[in-house]
Chains A and B, each alone.
Chain A
Amino acid sequence: MKSSVIRALIALVVGGALTLAAFLGAFFWAGVPDFGFVRTAQQTDSVRYQGPFVQDVDEARYLRNFVGYEADITADGTLTEGRITEASEDGVTLETDAGDVTIAAADFDSAQVHGSTYGRPDWGQKIFYFHVPVAEISFIVFGFAAFYSIRFIMTRRREYDTKARVSMEVTLLFVMFTMATGILWTRAAWGVWWMWEPRLTTYFIMTLLVIGYFVLRNAVEDEERRALYAAAFGILAFIDAPISFFITRLIPSNHPVIERGGLEPPMLATFIIAQIGMILLGYAIYQLRMGEVLLRDRIEHAKTLLER
């Protein structure tokens, strides 16, 4: 067997094992990463969260979502600290050191809710361990596709076209994974399947660019022309993607951002294991697909030689 195939199989096994380990780690070891919190009313409805957090609430009725949580409520200019035992449209009842206190909604100014261990663990957030590595890899492979496209334009050697094409196929695969995991998370965290939110929008555009690449390839008859056109479009797409990304940031975003040092050691370890595992998986998929394409080429070549 060729060494590249052996390497690919090793990567497949190791990458698979690491990904599985990360999967187990994410659910049984690492906690939920503390990333950005939701702000709008619609989103607050679906909040289920475990772990330390502080949430500002500016309307009394939203406190219904935080029954059982510790809260500092400012009403009529005075601060009351305690645990929420009851909350409705009319007001909120707090259990404080000095006994129960009821605050009418009309007096309510603002509240800070502190997360405690009482809430349900939010499994939805755990998709982070897979969604982020997959998204990162999709960018990396996209970069490889662009790199091979440039190499092709410079050398006109068919092998680079093949490499660019296979890289783009892997990009498409990872883009699809990212989209799928992203959409699931969006539903769980924001209560909607889709939102025209900068990251999502940019990613959607990138998906379209990758699909466009294959539409273009399929529409060109001549092999060499197809390779040249595809390479040119691959390069343009790769230049276009970051521009799309940055300009879309001008629209206000809800997408969570991990802050520096925001991950506890078990989380970080799980995340890194997931990342390495998926990089290996990506490499394995690329190599195996490449091997298949090259084999096909050799069969084609053998056929033409036989016809001679």
Chain B
Amino acid sequence: MASASMRQFKAMLRKDVVMELRTKEMLMSMGLYSLLTMVVYFVALSQAGAGFDPRDIAAGLLWLAFIFTSMLGLNRSLVHEKDQGCLEALLLSPVDRPVIYFAKVTGNLLFLLIVEALTIPVFAFLFLQGETIDLRTMALIPLVLVAGSIGIAGVGTLLATMSVNTSGKDFVLAMLFIPLIYPLLLGAVMATGAAIVGTPEALGVFWTGMAWVIGYDVIMLLASYGLYEFIVGA
């Protein structure tokens, strides 16, 4: 049984990757969207004085970009399933519902991480040039990215499964997603900010933030996993 689920999981993940590589719809839209955010950031910061240190708000800006691009991607990924009733076909096949959930979460996580990994160097190039950055603590950032993105993909996939069936998909997703993801966001910004600042005291803050993000992941993923079965069949 477990091997059957594993095979179905892989098939679903492969299908999502093949479709994405073919259309590049999610990656392109998310990537370009995050570039656009950078322009908006520049405008927002254009009036900041000379004493302004972009490192103080870099973490916040990064996660802001991640949150908004992820909502774009989440919506897309579920619209694919909904469009021609494919989700119904999946539900008709002898597959356990959690397998569908974890396959969708993994796919979304993958694309999210790719976009995030591309956004960070661009952000650093545009906003952090000439600032002193401790590369050793910066190396901790991937940890936050993975932990934070797991929560975003986990909660977001469940919410997007609901919001694709509503009128006004994007707005509903945002209205549900942002308040719900708020604790994770706070922890992730805390940890990322600490990694960018990079002082020895900041390291303690980093792990506090990480602990929150991981705790959130565990609780919310379990809850989403438990609720998905009821949602997807509705």
Contacts and interface: CB of A to CB of B under 8 A. Distances in A.
Check whether chain A touches chain B (CB < 8 angstroms): yes
Among B168, B178, B183, find the residue whose CB has the most chain A CB atoms closer than 10 A: B183
B183 A247 contact: yes
15 contacts: A205-B179, A208-B179, A212-B180, A216-B162, A225-B234, A229-B162, A233-B162, A235-B223, A236-B158, A236-B220, A236-B223, A240-B180, A243-B215, A247-B183, A248-B183
Interface stretch (B7-15, B95-103, B125-133, B224-232): B224-232
Nearest to B227: A232
Given A232-B162, A247-B186, A240 B227 contact: no
Contact of B172 (A219, A225, A236): A219
A235 B186 contact: no
Contacts of A215: 171-172, 175-176
B63 to A, nearest CB: 14
Q: How many residues of A sit at the interface, in one of the four size bands?
A: 20 to 34
Contacts of B172: 215-216, 219
Contacts of A220: 162, 165-166
Given A215-B172, A228-B231, A248-B186, A239 B179 contact: no
Given A221-B167, A228-B234, A250-B190, A240 B183 contact: yes
Q: What are the 8 closest A-B residue pairs judged by CB atoms, nearest first?
A: A219-B166, A208-B179, A243-B183, A228-B234, A225-B234, A232-B227, A247-B183, A212-B175
Interface in B184-234: 186-187, 190, 208, 212, 215-216, 219-220, 223-224, 227, 230-231, 234
A236 B224 contact: yes
B182 interface: yes
A240 B155 CA distance: 11
Contact of B234 (A205, A208, A229): A229
A239 B219 contact: yes
Interface string A228-252: 1101110111011001100110100
B166 A247 contact: no
Contacts of A212: 175-176, 179-180
A209 B179 contact: yes
A10 interface: no
A300 interface: no
A149 to B, nearest CB: 10
A210 to B, nearest CB: 9
A297 interface: no
Given A236-B227, A240-B182, 20 more contacts: A153-B227, A209-B179, A211-B175, A212-B175, A212-B180, A215-B172, A215-B176, A220-B162, A228-B231, A233-B162, A236-B155, A236-B158, A236-B180, A236-B223, A240-B180, A240-B183, A240-B220, A243-B183, A247-B212, A248-B186
Contacts of A222: 234
A225 B167 CA distance: 13
B123 to A, nearest CB: 24
A232 B179 CA distance: 15
A205 B182 contact: yes
Contacts of A239: 219-220, 223
Interface string B142-163: 0000000000000100110011
B219 A225 contact: no
A248 B182 CA distance: 10
Contacts of B230: 153, 228, 231-232
B5 to A, nearest CB: 23
Contact of B216 (A209, A231, A243): A243
Contact of A233 (B176, B215, B220): B176
A59 interface: no
A18 to B, nearest CB: 34
A56 interface: no
Contacts of B187: 247
Contact of A216 (B158, B166, B183): B166
A229 B230 CA distance: 9
Nearest to A237: B180
B119 to A, nearest CB: 24
A247 B151 CA distance: 15
A250 B208 contact: yes
Interface in B10-69: none
A229 B231 contact: yes
A264 B49 CA distance: 51
B219 A243 contact: yes
A292 interface: no
A229 B234 CA distance: 8
Contacts of B171: 215
